[in-house]
Amino acid sequence: MRIRRLSAALLTSLALTASGLATVTPAAYGAASAAYPAWAAWTSYTAGTRVTHNGADYEAVQSHTSQPGWEPPNVPALWKAATGGGSDTQAPSVPGNLRSTGVTSTSVSLAWNASTDNVGVSGYDVYRGGTLVTTATGTSFTDTGRTPNTAYTYTVRARDAAGNVSAASGAVTATTSDGPGQPDPARMPGAPYLYMGWGSPPNPGTVMDATGVKSFTMAFILAGGGCNPAWDGNRPLTGGADAQAISTIKAKGGSVQISFGGWSGNKLGPNCATPAAFAGAVQQVVNAVGPAVVDFDIENTDEFENYTVQDRILNGLKIVKQNNPNLKIVVTFGTTRTGPNAHGIRLINQARALGVPIDNFTIMPFDFGGSNMYQDTVNASEGLKTALKNAYGWTDAQAYAHMGISGMNGLSDQQELTSPATWTQIRDWALSKGLTRLAYWAVNRDRPCPGGGVTAHCSGIAQTEWEFTRTTAGF
């Protein structure tokens, strides 16, 4: 273990007076600054250990092993500002104009004006009454899981990297709307994608405890040789990391959606020779896992743009639904900024022509040249609504009730930026229109790494850990 080095000099002179009394007189001295090791992720810290982070010193409140996103200013439950070290003692200014920007029956959305600081504001502590709800990196937050027709009072404090905290903002009180008599039975719980073969997969139980999320979309089922299903094409349906994660989710009262396909890999659609064979492969997964939803992520030239394979999958889904009438079926596919492209329109029209009982059509509004990701997502969704109305003769409400959104948190492959605030906007729009599915790619990336680019284990932006999942849990 690295130990800090503390050096101090104390010079004394001893003089015996004529009366025989000894007097100790310390000379003037100065203590050198403490040199603490820099905070690092994946390091074991015991209570009382001191570290340096962004020029400020911190002391561990409790023993723990650090993880990315657990930087000392972000987790006051684990770290406190160390006294006697660091020169920044100036607190940020008080956040201004705290306001409610919207309510639902189970959520309150807040926004406030940014604070200033002599060094820099690192986050905002949001309090519901006297309880700390979260530390937000931006100037907005949606508090989910609230009770209908109930008043809640909030305040916000700004903090900096040295641990200095502002005085509380003015309070704002907002009342949630009346809730429906029964929850919408068609709406699936928000279920972000979790991929156990990539991107430092987290323990789903830990994420559930931290965010309140109750469902995950487990990715991906591929062909493990011929028409035989396997996780990622190489991990067994039972007995492996995927099955263990699913067991953890269910043990905590959660549910899973199982995703087949994806952008790459050896997929079942091209490898299963007939619709019956495809349905048989899906049934193996259903029997092994017991999902609430099966999601068919139809992408790329081998499935989405291959109409023979499209039809094979669609006809196979008819058999799956016949054999599992309570199982929800989702098809997920890419989009342009104005709605499905020709392949997507063909998929929708063919599903209608073949009489395939699809519960939800989910688009992926990213990697499509987006600039304003909220507005582009809304426009793409409205284009999907139009396509569904044209194919099925539905009303707006009926079309929305068969629609879903699957986004990408942080930076997309094309460097499109979806911030936590933008994702909250998208979720609230989906709720307001009655959409029935919300997901994003992926929980593995729901960790901060500002400047880290597009990577598997974090979002590439500044955020709190599991912030996108917490928002998705409010769907």
In the chain the first and final C-alpha atoms are separated, in Å, by 45
- C-alpha–C-alpha distance, residues 299 and 302, integer Å: 8
Which has the closest alpha carbon to 463: 113, 95, 71, 117? 71
Give the pLDDT score at 35: 52
Give the pLDDT score at 34: 40
Profile the chain (475 residues) by mean pLDDT over runs of 10 residues. Answer: 27 31 31 60 79 80 81 84 70 91 82 90 91 89 86 92 89 77 74 94 96 96 97 96 96 96 96 98 97 97 97 98 95 98 98 96 96 96 97 94 97 95 95 95 96 93 96 93
Q: Which amino acid is at 387?
A: A
Secondary structure of 12-30 in HEC code, one letter for each residue: EEEEECCCCCEEEEECCCC
Give the pLDDT score at 180: 56
- 299 tagged catalytic: yes
CATH class of 12-81: mainly beta
Q: Is 414 in contact with 442 (CB distance < 8 Å)?
A: no
What architecture is the 96-175 domain classified under in CATH?
Answer: Sandwich (2.60)
pTM across the whole model: 0.66
Residue in 59, 71, 299, 303 annotated catalytic:
299
Q: Name the residue ranges covered by the structural domains of the chain.
A: 12-81, 96-175, 193-473
CATH of domain 193-473: 3.20.20.80
- C-alpha–C-alpha distance, residues 317 and 67, integer Å: 41
Count other Cβ atoms within 10 Å, centred on residue 346. Answer: 15
Residue 99 bridge partners (DSSP)? 111
Cβ neighbourhood burial of 65 (10 Å; 0-12, 13-18, 19+): exposed
Q: Which amino acid is at 430?
A: A
DSSP classification of residue 300? I
Secondary structure of the chain in HEC code, one letter for each residue: CCCCECCECCCEEEEECCCCCEEEEECCCCECCCECCECCCCCEECCCCEEEECCEEEEECCCEECCCCCCHHHCCCCEEECCCCCCCCCCCCCCEEEEEEEECCCCEEEEEECCCCCCCEEEEEEEECCEEEEEECCCEEEECCCCCCCEEEEEEEEEECCCCECCCCCCEEEECCCCCCCCCCCCCCCCCEEECCCCCCCCHHHHHHHHCCCEEEEEEEEECCCCCEEECCCECCCCCHHHHHHHHHHHCCCEEEEEEEECCCCCHHHHCCCHHHHHHHHHHHHHHHCCCEEEEEECHHHHHCCHHHHHHHHHHHHHHHHHCCCCEEEEEEECECCECCHHHHHHHHHHHHHCCCCCEEEEECCCCCCCCHHHHHHHHHHHHHHHHHHHHCCCHHHHHCCEEEEEECEECCCCCEECHHHHHHHHHHHHHHCCCEEEEECHHHCCCCCCCCCCCCCCCCCCCCCHHHHHHHCC
Structure tokens at 1: 């273990």
